[in-house]
Structure 1
């Protein structure tokens, strides 16, 4: 115990870290976080490609997932509203919750007779509205 105290200044030896050394350094981890701050709806494989292009390292998708978890990033549902200002041009519009728009629509439709209204279902695919519903925060 005295030898340990003289060597490290403590009576208990700190245990060695278990497991393999981390594949990404702090700079690469900060790069991941900045990517997700800019575009929170990126997929893990896109993050892997960006790391490979920007930093020249190849890591697996599971490594990126575990790194994000270790950094405290959470996988959450992305929700942007129509009446909220869109930060990015590719921001997803997941739900419509604008009371003003709803009221204006009700007033506009309310003046028409029921025989003039035609209802359709939304069975076609609008490629401008197919957005990712999950993001990182």
Structure 2
């Protein structure tokens, strides 16, 4: 399957034509395009739900595993490493537990330091 990027104005024109009762073949001839039935269905469904033919990234669901540390906790780790560049990860782990009541693995700390 080949994905093509279409401008929002083009998507809107295609959906509007479909809502006016034109067939996909007629729409493709009219616009000199080759929009697939799947694309038209996707755009039409999105238009029916949101009155827009493009998705708003602000409404996307977060994908993947949630982050284990928030910005404050990351800043705490950065501060520890900045103050003592030779700090051991076990010391970071102990400081997180003592100061922020956070209990994470050494692997998580390593991942945060190398992210």
- Give TM-score, length-normalised by structure 1: 0.43
- Per the normalisation by structure 2, the TM-score is 0.50
